[in-house]
Structure 1
């Protein structure tokens, strides 16, 4: 083989190697909560609120913000399902519990305008759910008297699946 053909072969090999490396970087893996784990978390959150005498709705979204589970206590207000979904969506979108989100987006704060985005709910009771160092879901609770009480129930839901998420 002549030097010219060897150079062409080496260049062709290098081009194939670069193309293969680029193809590997064109996708990524994402972890998300399973419907079974979402139901377990929602059920635990609902039970915690019921134990405290609160009629609520609980929603769990997947990693992409799509609702997987929504449970509503029989006497929870008609607004609570959509509010719970909005709290979970907000916590997931901003990777921040909604009680902290309320503080960070008050009037006069640089980020106050994001409260006006569609689907965002700036009330306590929404929490991101992490597992294995990744954001995998979010939970929202609505209907207890105040965001602090909703937070307690949401945390109980996360605690119920904490061991299942640490992979």
Structure 2
């Protein structure tokens, strides 16, 4: 009987498992630090968060003089980019243009404001990075992009 169980087709057992890639805490921290540095170099005090593919925070950094709202908003931007699998700036434009229902912006933990980007490698969603506190979502986006650029060589692109 044990021989029969051991001879089960591999495909059946493969269907029972989900395999995914995730960022190490060190790589997530490196991305956050690069985003923080970019904003500092531009004269902005911000908060930056990196979340995993499930929207759970891995790293959150807040500069000394970043606004009180910045940490929560950074996490929400990163979460939103992962949840909707797109940049939050694009989502904000879609809501303003009427392409997306504005009610989506009222969902818990969602922030449809520029500054949230997905972290992807080789077609796999790894997480998201969110920046809050620069004057405008486009500047938050620049800092988030600097975070992605800093880790690009460590990912399977």
Same-fold status (TM-score > 0.5): yes
Residue 115 (structure 2) pairs with residue 115 (structure 1): no
Change beyond 3 A, Cα 1:40–1:15:
closer
1:103 & 1:166 partners in 2: Cα distance? 30
Structure 2 residue aligned with 1:54: 44
Deviations 1:64-119 (A, max 9, x none): 11000000000001110000000000001111101101012236334332111100
1:121 Cα shift? Answer: 0.2
User: SS in structure 2 opposite 1:96?
Assistant: coil
1:15 & 1:67 partners in 2: Cα distance? 41
| Bigger mean CA deviation after superposition, 120-129 or 20-29 | 20-29
Structure 2 residue aligned with 1:138: 128
Deviations 1:99-147 (A, max 9, x none): 1010122363343321111000011000001012211010000000000
TM-score by length of 1: 0.86
Residue 94 (structure 2) pairs with residue 104 (structure 1): yes
Paired residue total: 155
1:153 & 1:21 partners in 2: Cα distance? 43
Change beyond 3 A, Cα 1:25–1:146:
same
Residue 30 (structure 2) pairs with residue 27 (structure 1): no
2:76 & 2:43 partners in 1: Cα distance? 23
Structure 1 residue aligned with 2:115: 125
1:103 & 1:80 partners in 2: Cα distance? 21
RMSD: 2.0
User: SS in structure 1 opposite 2:49?
Assistant: strand
Higher gyration radius (CA):
1
TM-score by length of 2: 0.91
Residue 60 (structure 2) pairs with residue 70 (structure 1): yes
Change beyond 3 A, Cα 1:110–1:125:
closer
Matching residue within 127, 148, 157 for 1:158: 148
2:105 & 2:8 partners in 1: Cα distance? 44
Deviations 1:6-33 (A, max 9, x none): xxxxxxxx99977653232111201111
